[in-house]
Amino acid sequence: MVSVFDHGLLYGDGVFEGIRAYNGLVFKLKEHVDRLWESAHTLMLTIPLTKAEMQSAIVATLKKNKLRDAYIRVVVTRGVGDLGLDPRKCPRATVFIITDKIKLYPESLYQKGLEIISVATLRSHPESVNPQIKSLNYLNNILAKIEAINSGYEEALMLNTHGHVSECTGENVFILKDGRLATPPTHVGALRGITRQAVMELGAKMGLEVKEEIMTRHDIYNAEEVFLTGTAAEIVPIVKVDNRVIGSGKPGTTTGKLLKAFRELTRRDGLRF
Ligand code: PXG
């Protein structure tokens, strides 16, 4: 049970991670747990477990639910306290772990690619709620998502207060041009995505030049390939942005190679349970 006095619910005061297990392997578990701790550290939220205990608890939850392929949601909230947003009201953080069957995106998404739209809702300024914190307050992302849906699209491209591309509502963005793979640096308002990191490493192994680069919508429109990365979606090819056709208008060949390499990685790399 979660209390109605839990500050995670009342104020969005807390942090989370979305992790995946592939055929009995938890993908990048250490990286997810480290990022959870970093998000909590900035919020001065003490997680009442060690990192090793958290890893064990995640594995135990998977085993108990008899799941080999799963979506794992780890949530740490400020805990139960009186009304009023002072975090000192909450003596102990609430921790829960959900493991559920993974709902895969339709394969047609990867075959056909996705069309996205940039939206007016700007990414939160890093000195407001820093988008690098994977916090329970996702209203910035949700407002952007609503805008995209209102315009008939499933995903929104978000810009920061300078007009630089930051990311989508739950995925990082990459462009490919002239053999160079680029993604916005995290300080422009992007999460340090774990899929993003894995894709940067896979790209470098394929011989691509890989860079973090400030980019505008113009750079996106004129890229040869565009794709999104995230734990749930893995790698999604983007074929149109704001009605501009990207490259050939079909999912890019390098995007396809990266997706194949990523799927192979998830099959062999991870903590066995
Ligand atoms: N940006 C944002 C804002 C995200 O929330 C990513 C990028 C991609 O990061 P990873 O580390 O996943 O490559 C995310 C990830 C969910 C859910 O249930 C959300 C994410 C991941 C998994 C599940 O909403 N967001």
CATH number for position 236: 3.20.10.10
159 located within any domain: yes
Cβ atoms within 10 Å of 128's Cβ, excluding its own: 11
For atom 7 of ligand 1, which residue has the closest CA?
171
| Ligand 1 contact, 193 CB (< 6 A) | yes
116 and 219: one domain? yes
Give the domain range for residue 55.
7-100
Band (161; pLDDT cuts 50, 70, 90): very high
| Ligand 1 contact, 183 CB (< 6 A) | no
| Average pLDDT of the residues of the chain | 97
Burial class (CB in 10 A: 0-12, 13-18, 19+), 241: buried
| Ligand 1 contact, 186 CB (< 6 A) | no
Give CA–CA dist 129/134, Å, rounded.
10
Whether 202 has a pLDDT exceeding 90, the answer reads yes
| Ligand 1 contact, 140 CB (< 6 A) | no
When pLDDT is averaged across residues 66-71 and rounded to a whole number, the result is 96
Q: Picking from 97-106, 167-176, 184-193, 221-230, which range would have the lowest pLDDT averaged per residue?
A: 97-106
71 and 191: one domain? no
Which pLDDT score, from 0 to 100, does residue 271 have?
A: 94
84 and 112: one domain? no
Give CA–CA dist 74/205, Å, rounded.
31
Domain tally, the chain: 2
71 located within any domain: yes
| Ligand 1 contact, 78 CB (< 6 A) | no
Ligand 1 atom nearest 35 alpha carbon:
11
270 located within any domain: no
When pLDDT is averaged across residues 188-197 and rounded to a whole number, the result is 98
The end-to-end CA distance of the chain, in Å, is 27
Going from the Cα of 27 to the center of ligand 1, the distance in angstroms, rounded, reads 14
Burial class (CB in 10 A: 0-12, 13-18, 19+), 108: exposed
273 located within any domain: no
90 and 124: one domain? no
Going from the Cα of 89 to the center of ligand 1, the distance in angstroms, rounded, reads 30
Which pLDDT score, from 0 to 100, does residue 176 have?
A: 98
Band (2; pLDDT cuts 50, 70, 90): very high
Is 134 considered catalytic here? yes
Of 100, 121, 138, which marks where a domain is finished?
Answer: 100
202 and 243: one domain? yes
Going from the Cα of 111 to the center of ligand 1, the distance in angstroms, rounded, reads 22
When pLDDT is averaged across residues 31-36 and rounded to a whole number, the result is 98
168 and 76: one domain? no
Q: How many residues are there in the chain?
A: 273
Going from the Cα of 233 to the center of ligand 1, the distance in angstroms, rounded, reads 9
92 located within any domain: yes
96 and 114: one domain? no
Band (103; pLDDT cuts 50, 70, 90): confident
91 and 123: one domain? no
Residue type for 96, please?
F
| Ligand 1 contact, 121 CB (< 6 A) | no
Of 100, 134, 152, which marks where a domain is finished?
Answer: 100
190 located within any domain: yes
92 and 192: one domain? no
User: pLDDT digit string (tens) for 222-232?
Assistant: 999 999 999 99
Going from the Cα of 154 to the center of ligand 1, the distance in angstroms, rounded, reads 15
118 and 222: one domain? yes
Catalytic residue, chosen from 30, 103, 134, 177, is 134
57 and 13: one domain? yes
113 and 217: one domain? yes
Of 85, 100, 115, which marks where a domain is finished?
Answer: 100
CATH number for position 95: 3.30.470.10
When pLDDT is averaged across residues 86-104 and rounded to a whole number, the result is 96
272 located within any domain: no
Which pLDDT score, from 0 to 100, does residue 187 have?
A: 96
Band (104; pLDDT cuts 50, 70, 90): confident
